[in-house]
């Protein structure tokens, strides 16, 4: 992979590793706030660029499905293989597509179409505004919030609100905790370049998972009886954990399947209407095991594990709103 510098592609990953060998996630450049976020939706105005493999892009796909925005906001899906020139568009029989807006070969061309001298990482998701001819946001947290809040006029399920005002402060606090110790935590473990960095991130990750499992023993969802944005931010990490992070990222103290409460909670979220269709495990496994040659130089994709997210979740004894 690499990044754009003044609109020119460079194969450089040095910004991803701190001096102490720990992984750090770059900030997004298009966050949607400067331009006021998504404007009132009209037919065909917005387009979503995603990767089935990426947990951050997966958040946007989940929210789009939950709110019933598939008809209102079409998607283009990049190929699962992230090579030295970044994400590319190459249709496959398991879901990758062409760039339906511009016909570009590479996602970084979408970025320079919005900002010719763009400098920064080229990431997914990307919410594109056809009318303004620019990127609204490439920050998954903002895209999730926009899909939840701003598109109710064209949503099939406008009644669903995953960021209710009375829980906003609690959701924000939970999101911050999840991001540091779990969502980015698995990357801090898997992409650590020193033993000390690995050990510290490993300890924090499993301490957080242990706490979350204990919390879910008496709560249906992270903040009580109502499912919120925080649950979906956790879901996209949990659904990848046993298939990828345990082996590939060496997050192997425990599997999610070994947790009494997290395992059933993961299955329940997977079984929400529309969510299963957003989980494309072939893309997920190939992306990590083939693209990240610094961790898996052979590029061999493991055949297992067998995962059945459709099994009974056994969470009905806990109150749900």
Active site residues: 54, 187
**Three-class secondary structure of residue 160 per DSSP:** coil
Q: The tokens 């991001």 sit on which residue?
A: 179
Full DSSP string of 121-142 = ---S-EEEETTTTEEEE--HHH
C-alpha span between 264 and 180 (Å, rounded): 23
Q: What CA–CA distance (Å, rounded) separates 167 from 108?
A: 37
Mention every residue, 6+ apart, whose C-beta is less than 8 A from residue 95: 52, 77, 280, 283
Q: Are 119 and 6 in contact (CB under 8 A)?
A: yes
Residues 55/43, Cβ–Cβ less than 8 Å: no
| Best CA proximity match to 234, nearest among 176, 288, 182, 169 | 182
- DSSP codes joined into one string, 174-191: HHHHHIIIIITHHHHHHT
Residue 55 CB contacts under 8 Å (≥ 6 apart), including other chains: 183, 236, 237, 240
What is the Cα–Cα distance from 111 to 22, expressed in whole angstroms? 28
- Give the largest Cα separation in the chain, rounded: 55
């Amino acid at each position: 992979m690499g990044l754009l510098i003044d609109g020119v592609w460079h194969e450089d990953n040095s910004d991803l590793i701190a001096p102490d060998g720990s992984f750090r996630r770059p900030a997004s450049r298009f966050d949607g706030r400067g331009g006021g976020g998504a404007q009132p939706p009209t037919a065909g105005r917005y387009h979503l660029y995603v990767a089935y493999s990426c947990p951050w892009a997966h958040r946007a796909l989940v929210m789009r499905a939950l709110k019933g925005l598939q008809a209102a906001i079409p998607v283009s899906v990049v190929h699962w293989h992230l090579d030295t020139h970044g994400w590319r568009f190459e249709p496959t029989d398991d879901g990758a597509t062409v760039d339906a807006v511009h016909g570009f070969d590479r996602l970084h061309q979408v970025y320079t179409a919005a900002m010719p001298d763009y400098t920064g990482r080229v990431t997914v998701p990307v919410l594109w505004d056809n009318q303004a001819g620019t990127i609204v946001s490439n920050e998954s947290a903002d895209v999730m919030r926009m899909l939840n809040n701003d598109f109710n006029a064209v949503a099939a399920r406008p009644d669903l609100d995953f960021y209710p005002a009375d829980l906003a402060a609690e959701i924000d606090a939970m999101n911050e905790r999840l991001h540091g110790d779990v969502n980015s935590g698995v990357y801090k473990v898997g992409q650590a370049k020193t033993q000390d960095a690995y050990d510290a991130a490993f300890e924090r990750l499993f301490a957080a998972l242990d706490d979350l499992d204990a919390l879910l023993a008496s709560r249906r969802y992270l903040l009580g009886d109502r499912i919120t944005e925080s649950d979906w931010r956790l879901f996209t990490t949990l659904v990848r954990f046993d298939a990828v992070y345990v082996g590939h990222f060496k997050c192997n103290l425990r599997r999610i399947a070994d947790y009494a409460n997290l395992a059933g909670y993961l299955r329940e979220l997977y079984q929400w209407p529309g969510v299963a269709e957003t989980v494309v495990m072939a893309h997920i496994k190939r992306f990590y095991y083939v693209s990240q040659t610094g961790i898996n130089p052979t590029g061999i994709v493991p055949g297992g594990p067998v995962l059945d997210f459709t099994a009974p979740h056994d969470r009905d004894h806990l109150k749900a709103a």
